[in-house]
Chains A and B, each alone.
Chain A
Amino acid sequence: MMKTMNDSKLPPSRVAKHIDALPNSGIRDFFELVMTMDDVISLGVGEPDFVTPWGIREATIYSLEKGHTSYTSNLGLLSLRQAVCRYVKENYSVSYDPVQECIITVGVSEALDLILRALLEPGDEVVYHEPCYVSYPACIQMAQAIPVPVTTKQENNFSLVADELRQKVTPKTKVVLLNFPNNPTGAVLTCDQKSEIAKIAVDNDLIVITDEIYSELTYEDQCKSIAAFPGMKNRTVFLHGFSKAYAMTGYRIGYACGPKDLIDAMMKIHQYSMLCASIMGQEAALEALQHGKNDRELMKSEYLMRRNLIVKRFNSLNLTCVNPQGAFYVYPNISSTGLDSDFFAKSLLQEKNVAVVPGTAFGNHGKNYIRCSYAVSIDDIELAMTRISEFISEV
């Protein structure tokens, strides 16, 4: 649109400066574009294509049938917190007290917001890795702190290199925010890498927030949580939830485990803002932990097959693609096409009706990458890859 003289006379924004400064999510613009089109095959989804397993849905219905429609304790149902702490101990080798060291939240998103607001003051720095989930830098800014990205690279399988992290640590650094398995790259951390990062945290007296939402979707051996490394339990906040492992995104149930003082602080914000997560969601989550293992494993083996297929296809198109060890995304490099990712994604959508998300949505270094989700049926993956292949040959 042409800039008119009147623009300069606009009244100053009424919105708080730190909110006004937030960029619009890149994924949002793309979403609007996709919504205008029919018959799109989408590899742009960030949630499982499976419907929540029937046993869990049935437990939700039963919860309603019993008339469980009230608030719960602010921290969440004690039975769920107990089940969560047992699960975390068995699978991530770190013990938490369900009474004092665990809080149930409205998805991991709320848990992340709570812990950032609880910890950060203006001027504090948070080191995180890019490409990353779209909310991280924004959530850090909303907590009035400064986001400091470390770029993870294809040659390192998009894993976080400890030395590169160390270089970003300053006296103002208060928090390191980790997300492995990673959205959008599917990268994971090895035990050695976790150990090195833990050492940096201890040496520099940093708090580590680890978002483990994709951790059940780890296709090779999984290492214990970074919270289980020496000196780490008291400086780690472990965030997790039910959305990805149990296909429960719409339930919005997450949790945080961590040292008592930090859970208390999160609890303060949570009780005044959210109050509690929905009780039927919490009861469904309990059912997931008690009886959901089989369904979880079935979905995981399905994702693994899809990963094998999609990685092979991308590499055969010379869109080189690290074999992701976790989550349900591939992050192919499209530089062989000579197109940047925004243009690639838009043209692919308009010409072939296939939606992928441009890498730029996940950070500043994404212009050579696109994110493709394989949380879609094998048939749709086959069809999408055939169309992508046609698209590339016509570029």
Chain B
Amino acid sequence: MEKKEKILELLQKNARLTTSELSERLNIDIEEIESIIKRCETENIIRGYYTLINEDNYHIKKVRALIEVSIRPERDGGFDRTARNIGKFPEVTDVMLISGNCDLQLIVVGENLNDVANFVAQKLAPLDGVLSTRTHFILKKYKEAGFQFENDEDYERLKITP
């Protein structure tokens, strides 16, 4: 595997790894790691770093909905312009073009049920090019971005084995 791929694989699992930690694990010079990361950032390969929060264990709980959206493709640009415009609303955290019964799948976040419902009724549905929406509220999250939210009980191995 190339150095860049190795670095990105590790950062994708843990964005907080320092360059010196990456260096020790991968046997690559710190300077080289820094320059690879810098380049990935300028080339928009690394788009950002964020923290995954398990809201079940946190006092601030937001309401999230998966929303399927059917849109009218345009002569030039297909779905892209509408998808990008939808993504400009801060309530929308994820926008994906998907195959199947609808065109886009969104994740929309709000303080409460009403927030999300209002967003759909007042902002999303009236948008030029949006034909229909179907909203599914998320009840519980079990796994996100590779992380299980609940671990199995700890199981202790023997401390010394041959």
Q: Which of B22-30, B48-56, B63-71, B93-101 lies at the binding interface?
A: B22-30
Q: Which of A157-165, A172-180, A305-313 contacts B (4 or more CB under 8 A)?
A: A305-313
A308 touches B25 (CB 8 A): yes
Are A49 and B25 within 8 A (Cβ)?
Answer: no
| CA A87 to CA B159, docked complex, whole Å | 32
- Which of chain A's residues have a CB closer than 8 A to the CB of B161? 27, 44-47
Docked pose: A378 CA to B159 CA in angstroms: 17
Q: Which of A40, A133, A305, A306 has the most CB of B within 10 A?
A: A305
Question: Among the interface residues B157, B158, B160, B161, which one has the most CB atoms of the partner chain A within 10 A?
Answer: B160
> Is B158's CB under 8 angstroms from A312's CB?
no
CB of B16 to closest CB in A, whole Å:
12
Nearest CB of chain B from residue A254's CB, rounded to whole Å? 15
* Inter-chain contact A34/B162, CB cutoff 8 Å: no
**Quick one: CB contact mask for A333-358 with B, threshold 8 Å, 1 for yes?**
00000000000000000000001010
Interface centre among B25, B157, B159 (most CB of A within 10 A): B159
Is A25 close to B, CB under 8 A?
yes
Which chain A residue has the least Cβ–Cβ distance from B27? A308
How many residue pairs, one in A and one in B, have C-beta atoms under 8 Å apart? 49
Partner of B160 from the list A31, A133, A135, A378 (CB cut-off 8 Å) is A31
Does A35 belong to the interface (CB within 8 Å)?
Answer: yes
Residues B159 and A45 in contact, CB atoms below 8 Å apart: yes
Bound Cα distance A35, B152 (Å) = 24
For residue A182, CB closer than 8 A to chain B, the reply is no
Write out the residue numbers on chain B whose beta carbons fall within 8 Å of the beta carbon of A183: 162
**In the complex, what distance in Å separates the CA atom of A49 from the CA atom of B27?**
23
| A30 to B162 alpha-carbon distance, docked (Å) | 11
A58 CB to closest chain B CB (Å) equals 14
A185 within 8 A of B: no
The one of B24, B27, B155, B159 in contact with A42, judged by C-beta atoms closer than 8 angstroms, is B159
User: A183–B162 Cα gap in the complex (Å)?
Assistant: 9
B contact residues around A27 at 8 Å (CB): 160-162
Q: Shortest beta-carbon distance, B1 to chain A, in Å? A: 8
Q: Are B159 and A305 in contact, CB atoms less than 8 angstroms apart?
A: no
Query: Is A317's CB within 8 Å of the partner chain B?
Result: no
Is B160 touching A34 in the complex (CB atoms < 8 A)?
A: yes
Pick the residue among B25, B157, B160 that contacts A357 (CB under 8 A): B160
Residues of B within 8 A of A45 (CB): 157-161
Give the residues in chain A near B26, CB-CB below 8 Å.
305, 308
Chain A 273-325 residues near chain B, CB threshold 8 A:
305-306, 308-309, 312
B162 & A305 in contact (Cβ 8 Å cutoff)? no
Contact assessment for A25 and B160 in the assembled complex, using a CB-CB cutoff below 8 Å: no
B152 contacts which chain A residues (CB < 8 A)? 51
Who on chain A is nearest to B25 by CB?
Answer: A305
In the complex, the chain A residue whose C-beta lies closest to that of B22 is: A305
Contact B160 A42 (CB under 8 A): yes
Contact A49/B157 with A308-B26, A308-B27 known, Cβ cut-off 8 Å: yes
- Say yes or no: A133 contacts B159, CB within 8 Å: no
In the complex, chain B residues 68-98 whose Cβ is within 8 Å of any chain A Cβ: none
| Chain A residues closer than 8 Å to B155, beta-carbon distance | 51
Q: Could you tell me which residues of chain A, from 20 to 78, have a CB within 8 Å of some CB in chain B?
A: 25, 27, 30-31, 34-35, 40, 42, 44-47, 49, 51
Query: B146-162: which have CB < 8 Å to A?
Result: 152, 155, 157-162
Nearest CB of chain A from residue B102's CB, rounded to whole Å: 31
Please, what's the 1-or-0 string for B118-162, where 1 marks a CB less than 8 Å from any CB in chain A? Answer: 000000000000000000000000000000000010010111111
A88 interface hit (Cβ, 8 Å): no
A-B residue pairs in contact (CB < 8 Å), sample of 9:
A27-B162, A31-B158, A51-B152, A51-B155, A305-B10, A312-B24, A355-B159, A357-B160, A378-B25
11 new A-B contacts, CB < 8 A, other than A31-B159, A305-B26, A361-B162, are A25-B162, A27-B161, A30-B160, A44-B160, A45-B158, A45-B160, A49-B157, A135-B162, A308-B25, A309-B24, A357-B160
Q: Which residues of B contact A (CB under 8 A)?
A: 10, 24-27, 152, 155, 157-162
- Chain A positions within 8 Å of B, measured between CB atoms, are 25, 27, 30-31, 34-35, 40, 42, 44-47, 49, 51, 133-135, 183, 305-306, 308-309, 312, 355, 357, 361, 378
Q: Give the top 5 A-B pairs by smallest Cβ distance, nearest first.
A: A305-B25, A44-B160, A46-B161, A31-B160, A42-B159
